[in-house]
Amino acid sequence: MSISPRDRLIVPLDVPSVDDARRIIDDLGDSVSFYKIGYQLGYAGGFELAQQLIQDGKDVFMDLKLLDIDNTVEKGVGSIKTMGAKFLTVHAYPKVMRAAVAGRGDSDLQLLGVTVLTSMDDEDLDAAGYRMTAAELVAKRAADARAAGMDGIVCSAQEAQSMRAIVGPDMAIVTPGIRPIGSDAGDQKRIMTPARAIAVGADYLVVGRPILGAPSRSDMAKSIIDDIAVALGKR
């Protein structure tokens, strides 16, 4: 993929208000071109902010993790595709993904299948009733995503290299749980540094708290982008 290092960094606007989000966007300025909006901000005016960001030339990742009956998912994606967002997530259940692909139609919206949340490990999956490891479930859902005609998957960077062999060269691999050296893992369990994640095959990195909590958000973002550029040169 011919994607610049800057465009591979996705900053999540996981804050409670649009005013909070705008302060982050102002702090980051031109250092960041790609933002993720999820439930917390989405329900607090984030959909309107997403459209404003798109009008300002930014890329937007709508992290809604849709999961519902086929008709509801298809119609929901049909509505979202008019926003102009770049990415939209759905849970990587085969029927859900096929419905999302039908709803997307021939629009430019790219659909990502969420395999296993990076906050979950084997013990969590066992407690939820899954009789396979996180790696095994990610692999199954990645294969299902490819078969459904999805544009990419969301998985831990720890699985990126093995998933590339499953999804092929053209599907995007988006990895949350990215932590620069010295950063706190927080509630993430399957984590990796930015440079290592790129080196093993991730296309896009979602980096939240290390940037949002930094003394200089723009400097931290630029440092991560520099790490991405170095790693791309070695890949």
Q: Specify the DSSP element, H or E, that contains 141.
A: helix 134-148
Query: Has 69 been labeled as part of a binding site?
Result: yes
Among 59, 65, 86, 189, the one annotated catalytic? 65
Query: Has 52 been labeled as part of a binding site?
Result: no
Query: Has 49 been labeled as part of a binding site?
Result: no
Query: Has 51 been labeled as part of a binding site?
Result: no
> Is residue 234 annotated as a catalytic residue, yes or no?
no
CA 109 to chain centre: 14
Query: Has 30 been labeled as part of a binding site?
Result: no
Query: Has 209 been labeled as part of a binding site?
Result: yes
Residues found in the chain: 235
> Is residue 63 annotated as a catalytic residue, yes or no?
yes
Q: Closest Cα partner for 180 from 213, 203, 152? A: 213
Q: How far is the CA of 109 from the CAs of 3, 49, 51, in angstroms?
A: 17, 18, 14
Query: Has 23 been labeled as part of a binding site?
Result: no
> Is residue 65 annotated as a catalytic residue, yes or no?
yes
- Compute the distance between CA of residue 11 and CA of residue 2 in angstroms, rounded to an integer: 20
- Compute the distance between CA of residue 96 and CA of residue 74 in angstroms, rounded to an integer: 8
Residue 112: strand, helix, or coil: strand
Query: Has 70 been labeled as part of a binding site?
Result: yes
Among 7, 20, 27, 68, the one annotated catalytic? 68
Among 59, 63, 151, 227, the one annotated catalytic? 63
- For the annotated binding site, the residues are 14, 36, 63-72, 118, 179, 188, 208-209
- For the annotated binding site for substrate, the residues are 14, 36, 63-72, 118, 179, 188, 208-209
Q: Report the catalytic residues.
A: 63, 65, 68
